[in-house]
Amino acid sequence: MTVSPEKTAAWCTQLVQETGGFAPLEKCLEAIPSLDSLAKLPAGTRILVRGDTDVKVDSSGKVKEDERLKSLIGTLKFCLEHKFIPILYGHMGRKPELSLAPVAKHISGLLSAAGAPATVDFVPEWMNNDTGEILDSAVAQVSKAAPGTTVLLENTRRYSLEQYLWKATPESIARDAGKLAAYANGMRKLAAVHINEGFASSNMDLSSTLVPLTMDQVALGAYISKELREHVTKTRLAELVVFSGIKLEKLTDLEQILARGTVKMVICAGSLALSLIKAAKPDFKLGLSGDPVNKEIYIGEKHLAQARRMLEDGRSKGIEFVLPVDFVLGDESVSDFIPDGQAQFDVGPKTRAVQQQKVGEFIEFHNQKLVAGKGPAYAFHNGVFGKFEEERFSHGTREFMKQLKRLTEAGVQTYVGGGEGGSALMQYGDESWVTHCFTAGGTILKALGNEPIPYLKALYLKCQGT
C-alpha cells in the first residue's frame, strides 16, 4: 500500500485538530487490540515497536534508572518468542545529539536476564530529514535482520521532522504533505505492523501518531495495556485530587480534570494554589510571583481569569478547594502571605495541619461509600509542595507522603503520577504506600483530561478505519 500525500495530509490534520467530543479513553481502549491479536502473524514478520527509550545516561555511557527500558521487555520477548523481528524506536529527551547507542547495550542485557535472545542491532542513521525519506541503507540493514534479533533505530528526535506536528497547522501540513508522505511510505518499508509500548511518550511525535495510521495492523504493548486498562481508567474515577507544581500550565490540566465531574475535593499547593488564592482574595500578596519580571512564576491576569473561572465552576458543583494558609519563605520564616521580593518554598505548619484534617474527612467519605456499597473512593496525587530537594523545604512534601500511606491503609485507591511526585514517594516512603505509582506524569495528566492522548487518538482512528 502506498500512502498518497493527500491521505497523509488528511491524517495529520485530524491529529492536530482539537477534538471536543472525541471518544473517551475507555472507549478507545475497547477498540484498540492487545498484543495477543498479533500472535498468529507468520515468523519473520517485522514489527515497529514504539517504546519509552528516554532514559538518563551517565558520562561513562551507563544507563541510570532503567524502569522505562524494563517496561519494554515483555513486548520484545513476546515478539522474539513468536520469531518476529521487533524494530524498537523512540527518543532520548529533547536534545537531538543524544544517542540511543547505550540503550542498545542495556536492552541486550535486560533481554538476556529475561531468558530472551539478546542480539540488538543498532541503526545509527535511518532518515533524510530534508525529504522525509527513510535511507536505503537503513532499509537494507533492517531487511537483513533474522528472527532472534531486535533492531534499535537511533534517537527519533535526531530528526526535527519527528516533532513536526507539535506546531503544525492545516496550512503547513498541506504545504509539506509530500515530505510527510515520504516518511509514511518509508516507514512501511521497515514494517507494516506497529505496537505502541511508549506509555510515557505522550507528545504528538510522528512516530507514535502518523506511523500507526499507515500500518496494516496495530496493537498496544503488554506494559502500556496494563497501565491504561487497569490503572489509568481507575485514576479517572478520582474524587480527591492533590495537585501542585510551579508550572502554571498545569492550571489547564486541573481545569480539565475537574470538568470530567468526578472530583469532590482538591488539595492544592505551589503556583497553582497561589493563582487560586489570588483569584479568591484579590488583596493577597504574591511576592515575586506578582512581578511580571519573573516570567517563569509570574501569575498574570490570564492565569487569574482561569483560576476565577475554575473556582466559580467548581464550587457550583460542590467541589471543595483546600488551599495553603501559610508559607515557608526563602529564609525559612513562615508567613500567611508572600512578602514583596520573596517567594514560597514550602507550605507552612498550619497548612500541613489543614491537609491532614481534610484527608481524614476524605477517609470518612470513603467509609460512607463502603457502607452504602458504592466504595472504594479514589485519590490521585501529582507534584510536590515546594523545593523538596532541599531538606529545609521538604517538610510539606514529606508529611503528605505519610498522608498517602494513611489513605491507602484506610482502603482508598491511591494513585501517584510520575515525575517529582513519584520521586518524593520513593525518597520518603515506597510503592507499598500507594495503590500504584506511574512512571509517566505527563501522560497521566493528559489521560485525566478531556482531550485524548495523541497516541491513543491515532490508534483509535486507525481501528475505526480512518
Its CATH architecture, for the domain 5-228+452-463, is 3-Layer(aba) Sandwich (3.40)
Q: Which of 84, 142, 91 is nearest to 116 (CA)?
A: 84
CA within 13 Å, CB half, 460:
18
SS3 414: strand
Q: Where are the beta strands (DSSP E) in 348-394?
A: 378-382
Environment class of residue 129 by beta-carbon count within 10 Å: exposed (0-12), middle (13-18) or buried (19+)? middle
Give the strand pairing for 119-123 and 56-57.
unpaired
Distances (CA, A) of 2 to 94, 179, 195, 217, 450: 31, 14, 20, 15, 34
Q: What is the pLDDT of residue 248?
A: 81
Same topology between domain 5-228+452-463 and domain 236-434? yes
**Pairing mode, strands 46-51 and 85-89:** parallel
For the CA atoms of 200, 205, 206, 211, the dihedral, rounded to the nearest 10 degrees, stands at 10
CB-based contact 237:378 (threshold 8 Å): yes
Residue 99 confidence (pLDDT): 96
Percent of the chain predicted with pLDDT > 90: 85
Q: Which of 195, 193, 196, 197 is nearest to 216 (CA)?
A: 193
Paired with 196 in beta bridges are: 50, 220
User: Which three three-digit cell numbers place residue 106?
Assistant: 542495556
* Tens digits of residue pLDDT in 140-182: 999 999 999 999 999 999 999 999 999 999 999 999 999 999 9
Question: What's the pLDDT tens digit per position in 96-127?
Answer: 999 999 999 999 999 999 999 999 999 999 99
Residue 229 burial class via C-beta count within 10 angstroms: exposed 0-12, middle 13-18, buried 19 and up: middle
Asked if residue 3 lies in contact with residue 435, where contact means CB atoms within 8 angstroms, the answer is: no
Q: What does pTM read for this prediction?
A: 0.90
Q: Are 247 and 271 in contact (CB under 8 A)?
A: yes
For residue 90, name the pLDDT band (cuts at 50, 70, 90): very high
- pLDDT value for 266: 97
d(CA 90, CA 92): 7
Condensed to tens digits (0 to 9), the pLDDT of residues 365-414 reads 999 999 999 989 999 999 999 899 999 999 999 999 999 999 999 999 99
Residues 400 and 381: their CA atoms lie apart, in Å, by: 10
* CA atoms of 46 and 189, how far apart (whole Å): 10
N-terminal to C-terminal alpha carbon distance within the chain: 15
pLDDT of 375 reads 85
- The domain segmentation of the chain, as residue ranges, is 5-228+452-463, 236-434
**Domain 236-434 classification at class level:** alpha beta
